[in-house]
Amino acid sequence: MAGLSRRETSAGTPAWLEWTLVGLGIAALLVAPFLVYPIFLMKMLCFALLACAFNLLLGYTGLLSFGHATFFGGAAYFTAHAVKVWGWPPEAGILLGMAGGALLGLVMGFFAIRRQGIYFAMITLALSQMFFFFCVQAPFTEGEDGIQGVPRGMLFGVLDLNVSLNMYYFVLAVFLIGVFAIWRIVNSPFGMILRSIRENESRAISLGYSVANYKLGAFVMSAALAGLAGSLKAIVFQFATLTDVTWQMSGEVILMTLLGGIGTMVGPIVGASLVVGLENTLATSGFPVTIATGLIFMVCVLVFRRGIVGELYARLLKRQGKH
């Protein structure tokens, strides 16, 4: 499994680079809504958070989940239902969605961690498809139409999210909190153990760690954060539909992470922006999106498995090494 993920370098990490990028990135995101359509930016941020949550599992624990659409789309349904049907305020709806995502993650993880590697991927895919069929049949998802016309509402009763910029800065705040949380998890003692599991599972077992519990813990956290992204998306776009629980969606998240760089903090964000941007471009061109995503998948796997950011780091390290 270690081969899948880029080792976060300890000595000689381009930390200065990462912090500069983070600073520039946040600054850019603060002014961006004045230059680019906020709705596009918000979509990008939701998917970037989803990809980061996914990367917590793949990049730092070495588990390839093919079922993250379940948490993303499932949480979107829960939030949409709570806000629209029960009349909950948006913040409560989002928390509910996040909790729902975590719960789904607990159930899926409970079964999936019984097998490793390729079987793990297949089990998450199968369980995710099961959840998809459940959503097709369950009345509260409103079938093919999905839950439409979800009100954005007043955040904490004071901030009107129907104002585009309010919505945007709220999304940005949640995104930053989510990514910060992931960064903290990854660099905590818990995160170190996850990485040692990724590098060598049997050694982690022999050191006395209950690997299954750590894996499940990582799975639930990743699911909760993916749920947060889904809930946010439901509020932004004011609907929740079957699209977000399909296996294609799970595949898209994998692509974003792979393209950006598995096991890097910034990579999934870059990957998500590129994929969302590409899809927006293709939507008007008539070129089928699935062919494009499929081709990017194949090219990534064949020629740059490190992803864009991972490749950048590797080049920088090489150059530093030469000095």
Partner 1 sequence: MTMIFGIPVQALLGQLLVGLINGSFYAMLSLGLAVIFGLLRVINFAHGAQYMLGAFVGYLLLTYLGIGYWPALILAPLIVGLFGIVVERLALSRLYDTDPLYGLLFTFGLALVLEGIFRYYYGVSGNPYAVPPLLAGGTNLGFMFLPNYRGWVVVASLIVCFGTWALIEKTRLGSYLRAATENPRLVQAFGVNVPLLLTLTYGLGSALAGLAGILAAPVYQVSPLMGSDLIIVVFAVVVIGGMGSILGAIVTGYMLGLAEGLTKVFYPEASNLVVFVIMAIVLLVRPAGLFGRDA
Residues 130-189 that bind partner 1 (CB under 8 A): 130, 133-134, 137
Residues 234-273 that bind partner 1 (CB under 8 A): 247-248, 251, 254, 258
- In the three-class reduction of DSSP (H, G, I as helix; E, B as strand; rest coil), residue 188 is classed as coil
Tokens of 248: 């294609």
Q: Is residue 85 at the binding interface for partner 1, with CB under 8 A as the rule?
A: no
CB of 4 to partner 1, least distance (A): 5
Site string for partner 1, 51-70 (x = CB under 8 A): -------------x------
Q: Based on CB atoms, which residue is closest to partner 1, 173 or 291?
A: 291
Tokens of 88: 């909950």
- 60, 66, 310, 52: which is closest to 198 by C-alpha? 60
CB of 194 to partner 1, least distance (A): 17
Q: Binder to partner 1 among 46, 125, 179, 236 (CB under 8 A)?
A: 125
Q: Are 298 and 40 in contact (CB under 8 A)?
A: no
Q: Is residue 209 at the binding interface for partner 1, with CB under 8 A as the rule?
A: no
How many of the other CB atoms lie within 10 Å of CB of 107?
14
Q: Binder to partner 1 among 39, 126, 154, 212 (CB under 8 A)?
A: 126
- The residues that bridge with 159 in the sheet, in sequence order, are 155
Q: Based on CB atoms, which residue is closest to partner 1, 84 or 198?
A: 198
- 251, 271, 259, 252: which is closest to 305 by C-alpha? 259
Q: Binder to partner 1 among 79, 129, 141, 264 (CB under 8 A)?
A: 129
CB of 60 to partner 1, least distance (A): 15
CB of 214 to partner 1, least distance (A): 18
Using CA atoms, how far apart are residues 238 and 236, in angstroms rounded to an integer? 6
Site string for partner 1, 282-311 (x = CB under 8 A): ------xxxxxxxxxxx-xxx--x------
Q: How many residues bind partner 1 (CB under 8 A)?
A: 42
Per-residue DSSP letter, 172: H
Q: Based on CB atoms, which residue is closest to partner 1, 119 or 180?
A: 119
Among the listed ranges 46-54, 118-126, 158-166, 273-281, the one in contact with partner 1 (CB under 8 A) is: 118-126
In this structure, which long-range contacts are made by residues 93-99, counting pairs with CB atoms below 8 Å and at least 24 apart in sequence?
Answer: 93/231, 93/234, 93/235, 94/174, 94/228, 94/231, 94/232, 94/235, 96/231, 97/227, 97/228, 97/230, 97/231, 97/234, 98/224, 98/225, 98/227, 98/228, 98/231, 99/224, 99/227
Q: Based on CB atoms, which residue is closest to partner 1, 238 or 264?
A: 264
Instruction: Give residue 8's identity as a one-letter amino acid code.
Output: E
Using CA atoms, how far apart are residues 176 and 188, in angstroms rounded to an integer? 18
Q: Is residue 4 at the binding interface for partner 1, with CB under 8 A as the rule?
A: yes
Q: Based on CB atoms, which residue is closest to partner 1, 32 or 107?
A: 107
Q: Are 120 and 60 in contact (CB under 8 A)?
A: no
Site of interaction with partner 1 (CB under 8 A): 1-4, 64, 111, 114-115, 117-119, 121-123, 125-127, 129-130, 133-134, 137, 247-248, 251, 254, 258, 288-298, 300-302, 305
